[in-house]
Amino acid sequence: MGYDGLRQILWGMFKKMVIADNLSLVIDNVWGNIGLSNGSTLLIAGLLFPMQLYADFSGYSDMAIGVGKLLGLKVTKNFNYPFFSRNIAEFWRSWHISLTGWLTDYVFTPLNIAFRNLDKLGIALAIMINFFIIGLWHGANWTFAIFGLVQGLLYIPLIISDEFFKKKKVKTNSNNLPSFQVLLKMMQTYIIFAFTLIFFKAPSIKAVWLYFNGIFKTSIMNQPQFGNIGELTPALIAAIFVILFEWKQRKMEYALQIDNLIKNRWWKIICYVGIAVLILLFMGGSTGFIYAQF
């Protein structure tokens, strides 16, 4: 258990220090200069923020779970590969599981029972209230409240089409890759979530307006301008590696649980040492955990 805890801590450190910390330098710089950034820069920064948030928060969770294992404690996983979700309902079943699970048990379920005579409208009301609370849990700011309400609204088509409670197995082809249709749904879910996170990231409604207005200017066709290209490149390469590796290892508790892939002990050690070296070479500037403020 201690060995497993150490490698989960290592995996969490890789996501946090190589991906999240490097992306933080780039994305925070864009947010600090919204009016000076062209549309393509704002768009790419917006699309990268979910990855930064995931690497930061899931990295923190992996480290916390790993420390728990070192102490002999079994801590429930907080993320279950959310970027492989095909709709927003699947996404929230896999993202911040400790919070969403608690709210499902103590907010959504009682409300759903109370509104059961309203049929689909009752489910929708329970969902909207549930996500409004999720938004306010992050802070007493209109941006968080709207973020929560938007998440709830995204459930409405699923409720109407009876897709809300369905849990379908992900279809893969002969190479164990997602089918083209499934891949499109995953990308669609990611992009939608990325745009809603603009409300989450923005300090005010005015900043939200400036950001969206900046994206949809004609400058969206211009070449993106990132002054922190030295931090962006390793973060992007590491992010692609993490996504591909997590897809391969999606049936494992976490991706670096590689006993199913590598049987030889020395090759495993080489793999762990290699990841540690990558952390030392490409770790970004020291930044705090995003969710430390909540």
Catalytic residues: 138
178 strand-pairing partners: 172
- The CA–CA distances, whole Å, from 200 to 9, 53, 80, 106 equal 27, 11, 21, 24
